[in-house]
Structure 1
């Protein structure tokens, strides 16, 4: 935080004129502070407290004849902003912060990868899915094969058995087709009911 001004040449010239003027009512303490500023060869700083004292005496009734004010003295001056010196960090605190950062990073990594498990993938993942698909295809093939065998067997049995009822081949074929159709529809009904039951299981 600024607490002083870096005075310029205008301040030096006018304050030198004020100090050298005979009969100047500047108090001894203020005069010493001002002269100390003027004697510095390099950039000099004027504290706010000294600036307030100087302003007070420039506004005094004895100074009404002076043709300048404090703001005129400081026209080419600037605020002095001291460099902020950061205190050294405590090594124990730094180490503790690093441990906390590492812990938080590990927790975040574990949270992101908690659903990733290579053993679980090998045991219940890809291989298990492949096995289930194979079993599903096998079950479908067996079901279709059973359906075809049942329908063909029903047709064959009806055709062979109808020879005792019908003498014409056409009648025997029609009766065998009807019997095979009835058996096929019954098989489809049972199959659909079974699939509905399996799909309805939780």
Structure 2
């Protein structure tokens, strides 16, 4: 699973039973109620009086409380910003295995985890309205309860990244590339042990020079073909037809050279494609090889990775 950007950046509060019962008990004193609070109470089975006015979020006149920064600094003076480092544990075989199992379990839980959706939640604007309402109720002597007492048993939902599943084709390709990388590392480790893997063709200088010569010969052949075409257009037509203007001869040479260049580019691309197919032929042969009855297919053949020759003890 991959984490994408945060879609909904609002902080949400799942109201507790205490908060809902308080809203139901004091609903007669509410002159205006936000639309979201009225919808929440209706979904929970509570009915507001007909005299209560339901207003939208934009129509609320809410005074945001001022934060006493000096008091906040005094309260957080003894709080350390850096977490204490965990004590180091001795690394052994059991600890390594336990750490590996824990990491695998966390990955599985992360893949299977789906965020729970809550329909009945309160937003920050609703909390500001509730705080102003509690202040007014305390002034009128109706209730002597504070906001923290109502929300201490509620659940706070912070914005989270949306989880998106990975592309299965991309995941299969990554697995194939990892297997090929492990295959190459195994060749490097065992080529000095097994005589059959010691002289791996791709590691020899002759193989590299031979591949480089093929590329150089193809490029040189392309250059000579274009030069020969220009020479034919510049000199050959003049010898066959007769004297021609110098500018017309250059134009004929460029036209003939351009035609030969387009043809050579086609054959050069075809040749390079055939060269790549020759390099990939062993892998395709392993993938399409017929399986005899009762014969077990090795994992490397099914994953598209070249099978390794077991080294001799």
Question: TM-score, normalising length from structure 2?
Answer: 0.31
More relative contact order in 1 or in 2 (CA 8 Å, sep 6+)?
2
Asked which structure has the greater CA Rg, the reply is 1
What is the TM-score with the length of structure 1 in the denominator?
Answer: 0.45
> Is the helix fraction higher in 1 or 2?
1
